[in-house]
Structure 1
Amino acid sequence: MSKPVVTQLTQTQCPHAAMGTLTTSTTKVMIDNAPALALGDKGTVAGCPFTLPNGKPQPCVTEMLLGISSKVMAEGKFVLLQNPSDLCYSVENIPQGPVGWTNIQMKVLAA
């Protein structure tokens, strides 16, 4: 099944509603005036308010994007696809929950 290719303009958020920022290593392949994300690119989260019940801060800091196309490449790397299984992680590399997706481009789909 085809899914949207993630671009740098795709907006993400952690499960605690902090906004994510996607960065990409590709600059030549543009979709809707934004560079496509490729294998190895990540998202970062700033300002996550999550705290454990014992009071220890455990904010989301990284978005691991694992939805990889098996057919479409950008600059020699497979592009990333919107994936409901992508997860946010804390600084201690503890899974925090799913990445939330908004502002998803729908012009380019891939498998």
Structure 2
Amino acid sequence: MPGFLLHIGASVLCSHAGQAQATVPNPRVLVSGQPTVAITGPWMVAGCALPPPPAANGPCVTAQFVSSATRVTSNGQPLLCQDSQAICAPTGTPLLIVACQMRASAM
């Protein structure tokens, strides 16, 4: 399914409202003047509201995307799209892509 390409300035949250940020930008492809993000780099999560054990298994600390564009790559790595899926560690919950650029899309 096609989706808009994810970039460094996209608003991405964990399921508990923590702010996620890409750690490895891809400067070879720019959208809206900002680097895109490939599937390989981990994401850091800050401000997750899920409590630590024994109350819960939080907070979310990192996340890794598990799906990406299938037909668009940069430097041999698939780029992330608005419909890409990620899993947070140690909670196992998804990241939520709230807002991203809406000009360039990929499959």
User: Above 0.5 in TM-score?
Assistant: yes
Question: Cα 1:61–1:32, aligned 2, differ >3 Å: closer, same or farther?
Answer: same
2:101 paired with 1:105: yes
Equivalent residues in 2 for 1:79-90, closer than 5 Å: 79-83=79-83, 85-90=85-90
* Structure-1 separation of matches of 2:37 and 2:21: 12
Question: Using a 3 Å threshold, how does the CA distance of structure 1 residues 2 and 56 change in structure 2: closer, same or farther?
Answer: closer
Q: In the aligned structure 2, how far is the partner of 1:52 from the partner of 1:77?
A: 34
Deviations 1:14-65 (A, max 9, x none): 1111111122242121011111111302211012221257346621011221
Distance 1:55 1:64 in 2: 24
What are the within-5 Å matches in structure 2 for residues 28-107 of structure 1? 28-51=28-51, 54-55=54-55, 58-83=58-83, 85-90=85-90, 94-95=91-92, 97-107=93-103
Unaligned runs of 5+ in 1: none
- Give me the whole-angstrom Cα distance separating, in 2, the residues matched to 1:4 and 1:50: 29
1:37 and 1:80 in contact (8 A); partners too: yes
- Cα distance between partner residues in 1 of 2:12 and 2:43: 8
Task: State the alpha-carbon separation in 1 of the partners of residues 104 and 4 from structure 2.
Answer: 6
Unaligned runs of 5+ in 2: none
Two-structure CA RMSD over aligned residues (Å): 2.1
Structure 1 residue 87: Cα displacement? 2.1
Which residue of structure 1 lines up, in the alignment, with residue 22 of structure 2? 22
